[in-house]
Amino acid sequence: MKQIHQQEKEQFKQLFLQEKLDNFEDCYRILDVFLQIENHVTLEEFIEVLKDKGVDFEESFVKQTLDLMCYFGFAQQNRFNNGLVRYEHRHLGQHHDHMICIKCGRILEFEDSDMEALQVRISGRHGFHILQHKMELYGLCSQCFPKQTVSIPLVMSKQGQRLIIREFTGGTTTRVRLSAMGLRVGDEIEVITNSSKGQVVIAADRTRFALGRGLAEKIQVEAVQ
């Protein structure tokens, strides 16, 4: 890996000289720190790493350099689950996919040659030629999955989770209201939308429901095992 990083540094230098770009030394320092990181970082997280390494630049200049690194293929952007932009290395000739934990946000990289070959075969059956692709699998990592064995209020759930309704709290009025909507204890549901504010949208048996956060607070759910 060190050899690959050294090659990338040399290519970075050559491209800068070729394109006659400014601030090479400063950009090179940012690249050097970036290549030492093996995880996916936001702009803000990367700036903190730079400061820890004694490299302190304005946010706009760091962003400009990251964009330049993406343009020349030394880095790439990801926006997992419609979240923040995260940057990672882009090593030429290497491909990996991602597993994203919807509870803690952990991002796991994986490679599978059998899966890659299967994608080529499937596309070939349809007369389709793959130019590029990415795969993102969403679920619970090994650290978070055991924590989901207890029930939580629906309002605390994450988008994409499949859950089972275990209990309605809040008294008879709440239970009658939810039953009238068509929701029952034991129903399996999928969380369609759940942001920090606004309604919680779920689906049960091909029917969508938009619930206020107060009502979603009174629905206890567990993860589908």
Cβ neighbours, 10 Å, residue 72: 16
pLDDT at position 224 is: 83
Entry field: residues in the chain: 225
Sequence letter at residue 143: Q
Distances (CA, A) of 74 to 30, 130, 171: 12, 22, 58
Domains of the chain plus CATH, in order, are 2-89 (1.10.10.10), 97-139 (3.30.1490.190), 150-223 (2.30.30.90)
pLDDT at position 20 is: 83
pLDDT at position 146 is: 65
10-residue mean pLDDT profile of the chain (225 residues): values are 73 84 89 89 95 94 94 88 83 78 84 88 92 83 71 88 91 90 94 87 92 94 85
Q: H-type helices in the chain, by residue range?
A: 2-19, 24-34, 43-52, 59-71, 113-125, 172-181, 213-216
* Global confidence as pTM: 0.57
pLDDT at position 3 is: 64
pLDDT at position 110 is: 86
pLDDT at position 93 is: 62
CA 7 – CA 74 distance, rounded (Å): 11
